[in-house]
Every structure is written in C-alpha cells, then in structure tokens.
C-alpha cells in the first residue's frame, strides 16, 4: 500500500458527475436501516474466530449462508478440510453480460489480544467504530458485498448479468479457498471481480485530498534460497573460502544492490489524476512524468511502500545451516523474499543476483514463484468503481495502483477476469496500520458511504445497457 506523503497546496473545486440510471435504484434503498443492519452484520461476523491457521471459516460461511438464505438468495458451500469451507451465492441475470464476482476472504490473521483496547473477537461497537480482527482485512468488505447482494435482491431489479458472491477461506496462508473455486470456474465464469486491494486514503499524496486507490495489479512473489558452499572443517581453524564466509560476502553484495526504478504506467496514471484534481504547483508537477522522475523520485524511494511499488525488491528474511559452534558446515544459506513487478520474471531476477554476487560458490534455488499480473483500467467496471468512489465528495480522486502484496485477485487474472481491489471505506494512515496490527476497526460512519459506493458501481454495470466501450483484454505478464 502506498503510504503518506505530505504535499501542501491549493485545492480545486469538486466536479459534479452526471446522474446515472442506477441513481434511481439507489434512492429506493432504505438507507435509514442500512447502517444499523450493516453494523450488526459486521459485528456478528467479527465475533466468529476464523483465525488462520487453522481457519475455522466454516462457522463464518455458515453464518453468511443463514443471512443470505433468509433473504431468499441461493447459496452453495465449497468444502475444504474439516471446519473449513468457502461460500458461493448467486443472483440470477439475463446473461447479456458475463457474471460479476464480489470476492472476499473470511479468514483473518491472529491478534495479540493483550495489546488491544477491546477483545479482538468481541465485534464491539464503541467510540464510533466497529472493532475486531478483520474489520478492514477484510470482513468489512465481506459485509458490504453481502449487503449489496441483499439490497439488489430486495430491489427486485432485473440484472443483465449474474452476480456471484464468493466468500472464500484461506487467503491469509495458502489460498486453498480461491484455488478450490478456480477448479469450479466453468460454473462461475465471471468477466470481472472486486476484492480487497486499496482503500480511500486521506492525505495520501496531497494534504486534504482523498485518493481512492483501486488496485489493478499485484506484484509477483519469488521465494528463494541463496546457498553458499565450501569445504567443511574444524571451527578452531579459520580457512578462507568456507561456506559461512562466502555467504557473508554475498550478503554484503546484496546489500549494495542498486534500485532500478520502474516507472510503471499504473502509478503514472494515478499521479496524473492526483495532480489534476489537486491543482497548484504540486499538481502540475505530478501531472508531468518528467518532473515526477526529477523531483518526486527521492521522496517516493525513501518511503518503504512506494519504494516497493516502484522496484523489484530483494528482502533477506531468514538464515539456515550450521548446527554446532565448533563445526564449519559445508553449506549455509539465506532465505530471500523477492517481489517482482508486472513484466518481470523470476529467471531474470536470479540472473541479476548471480551477476551481482559473482561467486561460483553461491547458488540460488527458487522455492516458490508467482508472476505479477495486471488488469486494464480502461474498463466499464473500473470506471464505475472510480466514479462512485468520489461521488459527492470534495477533493477526492480515484486511480489505479499496483498492490505490493498478494491477494486472491492474482488467481483470477490468468482466467481472463478483470480483477480490481478496492475496499470502499475512507480511512487515514493510522487506521490503515490497524489491518494485521492492533485495534483493527472501521468507522461506523463509513458503512453507509461504503455500501453506496459498492452497490452503486455494481448496479451501474449490472442494470440497463452498458455505456462506454467494451473492455480491453487483460495486460498479461511476460511468461
Ligand atoms: Zn486480506
């Protein structure tokens, strides 16, 4: 996720978007009831301890199953091992358009309860927030997606495409949930999906401006071992060229690795949008790629999340080898977590590291590798999400980002899905840090606006005729 950068400057006036056909439908929603209903749904979902490992997602999807079935929505369980399952729910459409997927995961990461102000699984509602592990990542979004299905069912509006809710298990560890759904893909077959990714982030690039970050891409992850070898021997006698010394030298060379900035078009597009909305001198700079590279580069590179968004990263995350202080082992090694941008390959990264380390006593072994992938932002659903994100707000702009971590969207793009990541709550950097951290919570005041943004965008592309050109194909990664 991009992080906070302070730029101060003049503001522009908000623009008025034209009315859309779905606005009429939105007016028929009982908005007075929406916030209490969403608050209860989210609170009850947060009370289910679906901590992964072990997951226990079955309890969470059983709960959602009851909520959806009570509204007459057809559901289907996709079981994993004991106590674990994913849920599929469907609203029928005419089939004029391919189905649209509302994707979320219902597992959560563990919480250190003694560091929290409330119990992480209390679902407590106080001080204007709904508290609990998963409030942001990502049961808050699950609640919005379930409520979007329910509201559309209650509206009784004819749909030009089927809506498919996917509430999956195991995103936080192995992605077994989405993998089991991918195996049934001929029965899902969505052209588009919405999932986690970005949020509406206050003061991200420009003070006073909210940037709605809609993820269109995820970096690839290449996990590898860097292994040094040499003759074994007695610890009492230092001899040049032994494995630990070889490894130490290789690590020093890795630490000197020069960053190569990849000014990918996704970020440049967002800088352009942010600058155009923000106006003033900083706005002019951000709209000019030459000036961004010249004047903003250092600031972006000093900030770890933006640095990660602009470069292929190599991160030493562990060591192995050596059992006893008096024995020099024949092999020792480091564990590397490397993340690569769209268009890059694991092989090219290894070749770069081999050249950098420049030592025949070092070898690299890839233990796991996924490529980055990306969807176009020239797409009717992306436009609907972006338009609904900023509707009625002053000093707000939406644009595409590259997620620096993994999400389940990565499993859908190879199937041809235009997969977007956007949780439509407006939050600040402090709240964002509570996801996977302490005191995770979502403002109650963001529940209704969040539902308006998501429900509006879904109705925009599922009712009436499709306006705008057909979507371009996915931007496929080099293989
Ligand atoms: Zn998540």
Q: Is residue 156 part of a domain?
A: yes
What percent of the chain clears pLDDT 70, i.e. is strictly above it? 93
Q: Is residue 380 part of a domain?
A: no
Q: What is the pLDDT of residue 12?
A: 35
Measured from the Cβ of residue 281, the count of other Cβ atoms closer than 10 Å reads 13
* Interval between CA 166 and ligand 1 midpoint (Å): 14
* Interval between CA 435 and ligand 1 midpoint (Å): 9
Q: What is the DSSP track for 186-233?
A: GGT--SEEEEEEEEEEETSSSTT-EEEEEEEEE-EEEEEEEEEE---E
Number of domains, the chain: 1
* Interval between CA 408 and ligand 1 midpoint (Å): 8
Measured from the Cβ of residue 364, the count of other Cβ atoms closer than 10 Å reads 20
Q: What is the pLDDT of residue 475?
A: 47
Q: How sure is the predictor about 21, in pLDDT bands with cuts at 50, 70 and 90?
A: confident
Q: Is residue 332 part of a domain?
A: no
CA 365 to chain centre: 28
What percent of the chain clears pLDDT 90, i.e. is strictly above it? 88
* Interval between CA 430 and ligand 1 midpoint (Å): 18
Q: To which residue do tokens 């706005």 refer?
A: 283
Q: How sure is the predictor about 479, in pLDDT bands with cuts at 50, 70 and 90?
A: very low
* Interval between CA 324 and ligand 1 midpoint (Å): 40
* Interval between CA 295 and ligand 1 midpoint (Å): 34
Cis peptide before 138 (omega within 30 of 0): yes
Arithmetic mean of pLDDT over the chain: 92
Q: How sure is the predictor about 303, in pLDDT bands with cuts at 50, 70 and 90?
A: confident
> pTM for the complete prediction?
0.89
* Interval between CA 354 and ligand 1 midpoint (Å): 34
Q: How sure is the predictor about 20, in pLDDT bands with cuts at 50, 70 and 90?
A: confident
* Interval between CA 110 and ligand 1 midpoint (Å): 13
Q: What is the pLDDT of residue 468?
A: 42
Q: How sure is the predictor about 95, in pLDDT bands with cuts at 50, 70 and 90?
A: very high
* Interval between CA 330 and ligand 1 midpoint (Å): 41
Cis peptide before 53 (omega within 30 of 0): yes
* Interval between CA 137 and ligand 1 midpoint (Å): 5
* Interval between CA 176 and ligand 1 midpoint (Å): 14
Q: Could you give the CA distance from residue 103 to residue 168 in angstroms, rounded to a whole number?
A: 8
* Interval between CA 351 and ligand 1 midpoint (Å): 32
Q: Is residue 331 part of a domain?
A: no
Q: What is the DSSP letter of 393?
A: -
* Interval between CA 171 and ligand 1 midpoint (Å): 7
Which residues lie closer than 8 Å to 191 by C-beta, 6 or more apart?
97, 98, 99, 100, 416, 417, 418, 471
Cis peptide before 239 (omega within 30 of 0): no
* Interval between CA 156 and ligand 1 midpoint (Å): 31
Considering only residues 360 and 16, tell me which one the structure prediction assigns the higher pLDDT: 360
Q: Around ion ligand 1, which residues have CB less than 5 A away?
A: 137-138, 196
Measured from the Cβ of residue 424, the count of other Cβ atoms closer than 10 Å reads 27
Residue 330 in contact with residue 196, Cβ under 8 Å? no
* Interval between CA 52 and ligand 1 midpoint (Å): 11
Q: Could you give the CA distance from residue 101 to residue 150 in angstroms, rounded to a whole number?
A: 15
* Interval between CA 247 and ligand 1 midpoint (Å): 35
Q: Could you give the CA distance from residue 16 to residue 13 in angstroms, rounded to a whole number?
A: 10
C-alpha closest to that of 405 among 447, 436, 365, 451: 436
Q: What is the DSSP track for 250-266?
A: HHHHHHTPPP-----HH
* Interval between CA 175 and ligand 1 midpoint (Å): 11
Q: Is residue 96 part of a domain?
A: yes
Q: Is residue 2 part of a domain?
A: no
Residue 42 in contact with residue 108, Cβ under 8 Å? no
Q: Is residue 71 part of a domain?
A: yes
Q: What is the pLDDT of residue 233?
A: 95
Residues 183-202: what's their mean pLDDT?
96
Residues 292-321: what's their mean pLDDT?
93
* Interval between CA 104 and ligand 1 midpoint (Å): 8
* Interval between CA 293 and ligand 1 midpoint (Å): 32
Q: Is residue 430 part of a domain?
A: yes
* Interval between CA 149 and ligand 1 midpoint (Å): 21
Lowest-pLDDT range, 3-7, 61-65, 259-263, 318-322?
3-7
Rg (CA), the chain: 24
Question: Which burial class, exposed, middle or buried, applies to 146 when counting CB atoms under 10 A from its CB (0-12, 13-18, 19+)?
Answer: buried
* Interval between CA 420 and ligand 1 midpoint (Å): 13
**Domain membership of residue 51 as a residue range:** 21-198+407-462
* Residue 239, token pair as written in the block: 């001899």
Report the CATH number that the domain containing residue 171 is assigned in CATH. Answer: 3.40.630.10
Q: How sure is the predictor about 5, in pLDDT bands with cuts at 50, 70 and 90?
A: very low
* Interval between CA 451 and ligand 1 midpoint (Å): 19
């Amino acid at each position: 996720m991009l992080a906070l950068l302070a730029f101060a400057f003049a503001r522009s006036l908000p623009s008025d978007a034209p009315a859309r056909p779905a606005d009429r439908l939105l007016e028929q929603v009982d908005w007075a009831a929406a916030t209490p209903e969403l608050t209860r749904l989210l609170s009850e979902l947060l009370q289910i301890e679906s901590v992964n490992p072990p997951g226990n997602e079955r309890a969470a999807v059983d709960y959602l199953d009851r909520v959806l079935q009570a509204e007459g929505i057809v559901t289907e369980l996709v079981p994993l091992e004991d106590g674990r399952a994913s849920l599929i729910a469907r609203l029928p459409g005419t089939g004029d358009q391919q189905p649209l997927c509302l994707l979320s995961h219902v597992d959560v990461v563990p919480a250190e309860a003694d560091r929290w102000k409330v119990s992480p699984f209390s679902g407590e509602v106080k001080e204007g927030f709904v508290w609990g592990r998963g409030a942001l990542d990502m049961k808050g979004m699950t609640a919005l997606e379930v409520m979007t299905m329910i509201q559309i069912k209650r509206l009784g509006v004819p749909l030009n495409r089927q809506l498919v809710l996917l509430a999956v298990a195991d995103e936080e560890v192995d992605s077994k949930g989405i993998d089991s759904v991918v195996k049934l893909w001929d029965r899902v077959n969505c052209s588009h999906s919405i999932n986690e990714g970005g949020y509406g982030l206050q003061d991200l690039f420009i003070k006073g401006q909210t940037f709605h970050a809609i993820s269109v891409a995820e970096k690839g992850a290449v996990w590898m071992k860097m292994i040094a070898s040499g003759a074994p021997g007695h610890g009492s006698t230092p001899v040049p060229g032994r494995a630990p010394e070889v490894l130490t030298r290789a690590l020093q060379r890795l630490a000197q690795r020069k960053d190569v900035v990849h000014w990918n078009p996704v970020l440049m597009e967002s800088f352009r949008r942010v600058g155009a909305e923000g106006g003033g001198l900083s706005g002019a700079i951000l709209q000019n790629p030459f000036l961004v590279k010249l004047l903003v580069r250092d600031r972006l590179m000093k900030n770890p999340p933006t640095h990660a968004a602009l470069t292929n990263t190599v991160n030493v995350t562990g060591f192995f080898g050596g059992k006893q202080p008096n024995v020099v082992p024949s092999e020792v090694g480091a564990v590397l977590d490397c993340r690569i941008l769209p268009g890059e390959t694991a092989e090219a990264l290894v070749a770069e590291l081999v050249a950098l380390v420049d030592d025949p006593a070092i070898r690299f072994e890839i233990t796991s590798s996924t490529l980055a992938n990306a969807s176009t932002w020239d797409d009717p659903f992306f436009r609907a999400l972006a338009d609904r994100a900023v509707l009625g707000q002053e000093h707000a702009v939406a644009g595409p980002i590259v997620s620096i971590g993994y999400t389940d969207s990565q499993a859908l793009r190879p199937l041809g899905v235009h997969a977007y990541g956007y949780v439509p709550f407006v939050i600040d950097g402090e709240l964002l840090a509570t996801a996977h951290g302490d005191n995770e919570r979502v403002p109650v005041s963001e529940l209704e606006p969040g539902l308006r943004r998501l429900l509006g965008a879904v109705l925009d592309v599922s009712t009436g005729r499709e306006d705008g050109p057909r979507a371009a194909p996915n931007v496929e990664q080099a293989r």
